[in-house]
Chains A and B, each alone.
Chain A
């Protein structure tokens, strides 16, 4: 495929905004990508510094930089945390625009479709960002329009859509985390938290406890992306319970919370049919940034789980 030369055509207009970024770093503590890798190069501040490097000619464009700039879930937490009012989301989109069609273009966290695609076009119809198109018998993702919300990944009946760089938010990474945690002596429950409702403290530091903690919080990009098999997996591995935290009604732009509620309700029914206490799986709605509510919900859930005791379905 023919490529074009990289130019900072769309990025040029942001020069003065990038000058006003005071590089305080307050953005990176909120970034799910940074929280996964803990490399500063993956944080929003680094994205801005790299773009400044491209604009000032101090950095040459590369696939590596394109990959870093395309790795964004558009949660907007960096924008909310920015003390200088830098519109990071818009700048990142323009960076992707400048990289699009060049030899350096990479998908980053945007979704790709593999050969298992049955061309049902459900992803094309459901994409809220109009990023997926059906052209000449194939499905393409517009890397500029895609905001890595993951709706297409979730909706695909053939599991043919994936994000190549998921930063710990994809099914297999979450399953792996579940398995690793539940292998520990004191492990009892898994808490799935939504990045948009509340991302807990103590994610950049860790307690070195004598005893292993009783529960593990795993952050995903949206409650709606938690499929039933994933929610059931901890219980299959003898966890005592699973708590799902998602946004309150009306807060989720993808209605992911509605979907999460449906999944959890279905699984509660299933547990009931199997004569297992349905309260072993629960859903709680947490408003954006409600740290106290999140912790209180976990404490109440753990109380219930401890009363129920270990699960031994066989």
Chain B
């Protein structure tokens, strides 16, 4: 990037909001994925007008632009594979309006999810998509990813809560998409298309979000299963029974062992644990749903059934799930927890089989993998525990990831449930959506004819995720 281009950006956002030191570029070149690349410059806009000016300039000069929220993505969505400008949106962090009577709020993209919920709480409402990373994840990043979390089974993903947005297009023009209403049948719902587009179509500068009342009663239960198949059957039966849990989580034996080994929680070493939660405004409704779920668990040989309304008790029951991430990271001194084949969604009836398949593929490829997830929404997560400095482990990981997604496609599941595609899931995504890739490319072209927004991602990503970028690890 030429000096005059950096000077132009400094003119737009001010000198102190531009970084070009190699250390800054190295930091902003990675996220929570295995990938690493470097932008040419990092820029922090403060308002819509600045974003418009930056985009118009970048479009004219054909400079790539990657929008970045917290940089907590797991698949390399914000890793700038073609360099260019990284737009750090964390300065656009204002909650613009909370409107309880019309049930929406307006926020800038840099607002942190937990901060929004903190501000909504006095109104007795919450913004429900809330991914596990809500303490740092920004609304802009969640929109880019169509993020969701443990409560997606009842409250849906980001797309379900986004009513509208303002978006700066690559040529610098500003468009208002969607509405402030609960329903809309006014042509193409382009704001829904922006959700999950991973920064490839436009820069979101404002979002209108809906929220829901905070339930007065919440009860969490747990059941242990000696056989994974039984847990899988219980999940499918619960979801078919007409009950809508506010959370339904599966934790497999590898995860239980990891938690027990590192946290000493003394969980029963069974093949699977199910965590189920119900919430409502009246206790009777919660009782009814919890009882119904416990009956299904019993029918499928679930044991050790416990449940509680008490927040402290609930925290105790949830401890194993909550401590899962740290447990996996600390599983072994030589193994690192890598975000690979990190998420997928499969039909309910295939949850148990998918977990078994993941174990089978891991064993065959000499790596450790666990299976857990928000099975109430069909979402399965995993992590690959491997020695990231060994080349042969990357060969194994590459094979395992391919095998897992081949299986997911075979059971009519989908490549990503909530973490998105980025770089590391691009080949699986392309295989799954093979007959609509040209359509997607045409859509991208209509929004971004010069291909400056997050180039080299989704359908345009490298076929082989291992060699698509530098890996963040040093391989011996």
Contact = CB atoms under 8 A, between A and B. Distances in A.
Given A25-B133, A41-B27, A85 B19 contact: no
A84 B326 contact: yes
Given A20-B329, A23-B30, A205 B23 contact: no
Interface string B114-128: 111011000000000
Contacts of B112: 29, 204-205
- Of B23, B26, B44, B337, the most chain A CB neighbours within 10 A belong to B23
Contact of B330 (A85, A202, A208): A85
Interface in A10-28: 16, 19-20, 22-26, 28
A46 B336 CA distance: 19
Interface residues of B, number: 50
Chain B CB within 10 Å, residue with most, of A39, A58, A84, A85: A39
A194 B115 CA distance: 20
Interface in B309-365: 325-326, 329-330, 333-334, 336-339
Determine the interface band of chain A, counting residues with CB < 8 A from chain B.
35 or more
A201 interface: yes
Interface in A187-231: 201-208
A213 B242 CA distance: 46
Q: Which of A22, A59, A68, A201 has the most CB of B within 10 A?
A: A22
Nearest to A48: B27
Interface in B133-147: 133, 135-136
A83 to B, nearest CB: 4
B21 interface: yes
Given A16-B333, A26-B136, A29-B135, A40 B88 contact: yes
B464 interface: no
Nearest to A54: B23
Contacts of A46: 27
Contacts of A207: 94-95, 119
A20 B388 CA distance: 9
A64 interface: yes
Given A19-B336, A23-B30, A38-B90, A59 B23 contact: yes
A141 interface: no
B23 A53 contact: yes
A68 B23 contact: yes
B93 A204 contact: yes
A71 B438 CA distance: 49
B266 interface: no
B326 A83 contact: yes
A269 interface: no
A202 B72 CA distance: 19
Contacts of B339: 22
B118 A19 contact: no
B391 to A, nearest CB: 15
A171 to B, nearest CB: 22
A202 B120 CA distance: 11
Contacts of A208: 94-97
A205 B27 contact: no
Contacts of A62: 21-23
Nearest to A68: B23
A49 interface: yes
B31 interface: yes
Interface in A85-118: 85
A50 interface: yes
B71 interface: yes
A153 interface: no
B335 to A, nearest CB: 8
Contacts of A19: 336, 388-389, 473
B450 interface: no
Contacts of B93: 204-206
B194 interface: no
Interface string B1-41: 00000000000000000010111101110111000000000
Given A25-B71, A49-B30, A53-B26, A202 B115 contact: yes
A68 B21 CA distance: 12
Contacts of B21: 41, 62, 64
Interface string A54-69: 0110111010110010
Contacts of A60: 22
B19 A25 contact: no
A275 to B, nearest CB: 37
Interface in B172-194: none
Interface string B90-105: 1101111100000000
Nearest to A60: B22
A25 B32 contact: yes
A40 B71 contact: yes
Given A26-B136, A41-B19, A201 B118 contact: yes
A111 to B, nearest CB: 24
A56 B36 CA distance: 13
Nearest to B73: A25
B110 interface: yes
Contacts of B238: none
Contact of B133 (A26, A56, A205): A26
B70 interface: yes
Contacts of B30: 23, 49
B472 interface: yes
Given A22-B329, A28-B136, A84-B326, A202 B336 contact: no
Nearest to B36: A58
A134 to B, nearest CB: 35
Contacts of B94: 205-208
Given A22-B32, A202-B118, A49 B330 contact: no
Centre residue among A16, A19, A49, A206 by max chain B CB count within 10 A: A19
A82 B19 CA distance: 27
B471 to A, nearest CB: 11
A176 B118 CA distance: 27
Contacts of B110: 205
Contacts of B51: none
B23 A204 contact: no
Interface string B60-72: 0000000000111
B250 interface: no
Given A38-B91, A55-B474, A59-B22, 10 more contacts: A19-B389, A22-B325, A29-B112, A39-B19, A40-B88, A50-B26, A59-B23, A85-B330, A202-B115, A204-B90
* Closest CB pairs A-B (n = 4): A84-B329, A205-B115, A208-B94, A205-B111
7 contacts: A22-B337, A62-B21, A83-B326, A204-B115, A204-B136, A206-B94, A208-B96
